Structure 1
């Protein structure tokens, strides 16, 4: 600040005062607006309060249009819309800022489902939109062949935030192979034939877990989602062809609520320009008015979206409040009350029921509440289901196994299996294997068709005659015979492996070359003898070893 003497000099005209030019006047307007476009919205709001000149600059439509179209920088939480058709970009920017605060929900409705190929009618594309244990499988082809499917979502204008796939692990096949694609990409459109946006391919790992392709923070809206599976990992034994099998597809999104706002108006205008049929939303009686008055058609579409999103949001709100209340009961150890609430509210969504069962299981593993005053055992969660004879999901059946281990003499698992309350599952079989109840584990594996683990249960039981019978039914290849004998050596002992190899020779159907490899692995090969025969060597070794009683481990 100038001193009093300097002010006197300025007033007398003796000294010419140097005034600095403001930066928004010193730079060209386009350059300054480009610089401002890299600021966050909160920083722009603070800048426009500095002066009237900066307020006018920050109000520029060009600036806000660039912000709406630009992806957010690191750490900035907002969405962006490259294909905007709005005239009020400042309002759209604020709506995009609040849009990221909304919680996406699962938006598949499954009214339209299509797949490029299906291996068997029981393996149709309808299986991927529910939480049942079934799956969709393509037909066999070369490894580089692509497959695709199209799925409809809850309404023609839904902002898709992410798409996840869960490859299927074929437990009923030897080796438990997983049939994942090498990569997949997602397309979104307003009709099943025309898609206005396609993502970059996402590489998939060949594992049976959810793999997510995120679209957020970009605003991509539509009513149909197409998934293209590029390449195939796994070869199926027998026909030596490559397949893709998907257990579950999950599409998360935010339905357009239908409010007459700048963002929703822009989204509807873009959809109408891309071929969205308003008759699918407002009825065929209004189709004739579209060509005559596009503005009225847009308003009718917004009103229809308001009705559909209102019903959807009401259902989602109820489910969220219910899950929040159930989670609170589980955290407080009131498991039976949580089960009563799930049964009483008739929560038929198997995915949500599995989620609740996972919470109970986490609590059960985190802390054993048995014997503590004022708390319940986590297995009390399934008692309300059993009392109403409600069929349990795979994750809920786990707790029946826990109850059965606590009361082993009551035969609960047999009773519930006969009443079809409990579903035989691989997870329940794994639980019984940990408890060293191999017979029940084998029953679960056999009921859920997991031959690899059926063999493991029989090996641990020491029932090698049944191991040979199962191996004969499965028509094991030569390399599988070698692997099976190695598993017996690892899980039990070498003498038991020799005994199994002898039983396989007696059953027949095993080549001399295979048994030679088996004998070498067992350490009974004699290469110095020119007339050495692997069959005779294994039989002699089986006679010499003392097996003792073949009892479970």
Structure 2
């Protein structure tokens, strides 16, 4: 084999960054940081894992601070300004690398925790928004669905608001099933003409709880940080899938569904209605491994990493069986990622404590060839 060259020593730093930012798999960046001490420093000092996360999810640009909780390997920020800056960069490297891996590794599932409110409800509680989380079409010999109030103007929209399973969720798609009134003549389907989705957070979480009367919370109570395109809806009694162009990171844990336009008039009163049987939000919850603390009015937030040194999660108290299953899924995901976490935290090779002799010092700044994959040799 020919002599291997370390391109980080041969290329200008800007060109090396351009090469490494072409990688879109966080595990590749972690492998690179394990090749040698100089490569590790280069990845950390240039924030390559953070840049990868920002490419995947621009919403992370509002992160003001990164905090690691229950990590005994985290050093106190004492000493010179240079040492504090290096500790900050190392912490961001660990957190963003694990976060990027979580985006691509955790299981996709239904991410709605509970239904909060609807802009209107025809017959409460029989036709409550809570029925949209019930997968069965009939419950207790009654049809299970939400119904708006009737309107003479078919252009009047409706709004449904849901709380997601955590404050830090990646959403891939929304599924909605319009209701088919099998008990009415002709079995009409009360779909909307189109839908649009918003994600965001509450201005004051204490002010946002389920409304016992099913009425909608005003928009003034929320900050919507993402608004989707308008998706056309078909007048069919099927679970219709509305896939987002790119997965969206919802910071704050609230989903708003706008139902735009009405197509079906009810024969008995001549008014237009919108009715929904079922709603799903497919995504990945990164809690309790990650959490956020939102600061208002700036809109910036603190990103909190709850992974312990051995890769265990800090479990939150589940509210029901579905939450228990979600926590078990997350624990399994974390266990599968344990080698990745150990590598990030230096448990495989501790670069700070590794004894470099003179011969190795001459090689490093080259490679520890055992830890190097062929694709990184030029």
Deviations 1:60-94 (A, max 9, x none): 3332221011129xxxxxx9945444353432222
- Contact 2:168–2:292 under 8 Å retained in 1: no
Q: 2:238 aligns with which of 198, 204, 209?
A: 209
What is the deviation of 1:244? 1.4
**For the residues of structure 2 that align with 1:319 and 1:33, how far apart are their CA atoms?**
38
Match for residue 129 of structure 2? 125
**For the residues of structure 2 that align with 1:311 and 1:119, how far apart are their CA atoms?**
29
- Contact 1:81–1:218 under 8 Å retained in 2: no
Match for residue 507 of structure 1? none
Deviations 1:367-390 (A, max 9, x none): xxxxxxxxxxxxxxxxxxxxxxxx
Pick 1 or 2: higher relative contact order, CA cutoff 8 A, min separation 6: 2
- Contact 1:257–1:309 under 8 Å retained in 2: no
**For the residues of structure 2 that align with 1:255 and 1:46, how far apart are their CA atoms?**
26
Deviations 1:284-310 (A, max 9, x none): xxxxxxxxxx99xx899x9xx843359
Per the alignment, do residues 196 and 150 of structure 1 end up closer, same or farther by CA in structure 2, a change over 3 Å counting?
same
Match for residue 114 of structure 1? 117
What is the deviation of 1:158? 4.6
What is the deviation of 1:190? 2.9
Match for residue 289 of structure 1? none
Deviations 1:102-140 (A, max 9, x none): 324444443x62211223334232322223322212222
Where 2:316 maps in the other structure, the secondary structure is helix
Say which one has the larger Rg: 1
Match for residue 268 of structure 1? 292
Unaligned 5+ residue runs, structure 1?
A: 3-20, 73-78, 277-293, 321-553
Match for residue 192 of structure 2? 181
Per the alignment, do residues 189 and 28 of structure 1 end up closer, same or farther by CA in structure 2, a change over 3 Å counting?
same
What is the deviation of 1:230? 1.6
Match for residue 450 of structure 1? none
- Contact 1:165–1:212 under 8 Å retained in 2: yes
Between Structure 1 and Structure 2, the one with more helix by share is: 1
Unaligned 5+ residue runs, structure 2?
A: 67-87, 203-207, 209-220, 309-313, 330-378
Match for residue 549 of structure 1? none
Does 2:147 align with 1:137? Answer: yes
Match for residue 103 of structure 1? 107
TM-score by length of 2: 0.56
Q: 1:32 aligns with which of 5, 16, 27?
A: 16
- Contact 2:29–2:43 under 8 Å retained in 1: yes
Where 2:317 maps in the other structure, the secondary structure is helix
Does 2:266 align with 1:236? Answer: yes
Alignment of 1:21-100 (within 5 A): 24=8, 28-39=12-23, 40-48=25-33, 53-71=38-56, 81-85=60-64, 86=66, 88-91=91-94, 92-100=96-104
- Contact 2:168–2:249 under 8 Å retained in 1: no
Question: When the two structures are aligned, how many residues end up with a matched partner?
Answer: 266
TM-score by length of 1: 0.40
Alignment of 1:274-353 (within 5 A): 306-309=315-318, 315-316=324-325
Alignment of 1:112-511 (within 5 A): 113-121=116-124, 122-130=126-134, 131=136, 132=139, 133-138=143-148, 139-155=150-166, 157-161=167-171, 162-191=173-202, 192=208, 193-194=221-222, 195-214=224-243, 217-237=247-267, 239-259=269-289, 264=290, 267-269=291-293, 271-273=294-296, 306-309=315-318, 315-316=324-325
Where 1:177 maps in the other structure, the secondary structure is coil
Between Structure 1 and Structure 2, the one with more strand by share is: 2
- Contact 1:255–1:309 under 8 Å retained in 2: no
Per the alignment, do residues 318 and 200 of structure 1 end up closer, same or farther by CA in structure 2, a change over 3 Å counting?
closer
Instruction: Please give the root-mean-square deviation of Cα atoms over the aligned residues, in Å.
Output: 4.2
